[in-house]
Amino acid sequence: MQKIQMFVKDALMSYKYKIFSTIAPFVFFLDQLTKFLILKYVTLGDAIPIIDGFFDIVHVRNTGAAFGMFAHLTNSVRVPFFYAISLLAVVILITVFKELKPTDRFSPYPLSLISAGVLGNLVDRLRFGNVVDFLSFHVRDKAIWGFQLEWPAFNIADSAITISMILVGIHLLRGK
């Protein structure tokens, strides 16, 4: 009986590693591949309309955080700040991941997504000193109630982080 319990415990423990080792590398690879393609085929500052007046593929560089926050800081402050925040996030993610209970079937998913997102953007910062963004959603041609709307450009890593936060939010709202 004890051998069966150990087998079940090992199988459940490995669940989080199976999820992480599948999702995180896939999302990281997709992020880096799309950025490679943008760097290769889209000139910095250009926009390729995909859905006219709503969605473009662009090539912009973000020196700040989400939505350009902290981009105004000098390089001597901004660069170490983002490296430190990224490394702190990685340490926290590893710690939280290691502490997951074997019965936790939810948490490996958002942790995998956010890990891939953080690492994807960290690689950009290490390589270029900024992050490559390329997805641009907007309402320019047809203003809504007199407003023209533009969401800041983002990438796959940003999307993974956002999706992980949405999953966690839904999970919390459901009382889990």
- Alpha carbons 110 and 97: distance in angstroms, whole number: 10
DSSP class of 154: B
The one catalytic residue among 31, 56, 124, 133: 133
By the 8 A CB rule, do 117 and 155 touch?
Answer: no
The one catalytic residue among 31, 56, 124, 158: 158
- Alpha carbons 98 and 104: distance in angstroms, whole number: 12
By the 8 A CB rule, do 30 and 38 touch?
Answer: no
* Chain Cα centroid distance, residue 53: 26
The yes-or-no answer on residue 141 being catalytic is: no
Token pair of 43 as six digits: 């000139």
Amino acid, single-letter form, for residue 75: N
The yes-or-no answer on residue 158 being catalytic is: yes
Count of Cβ atoms closer than 10 Å to residue 82 Cβ: 21
User: Which residues are part of the catalytic machinery?
Assistant: 133, 158
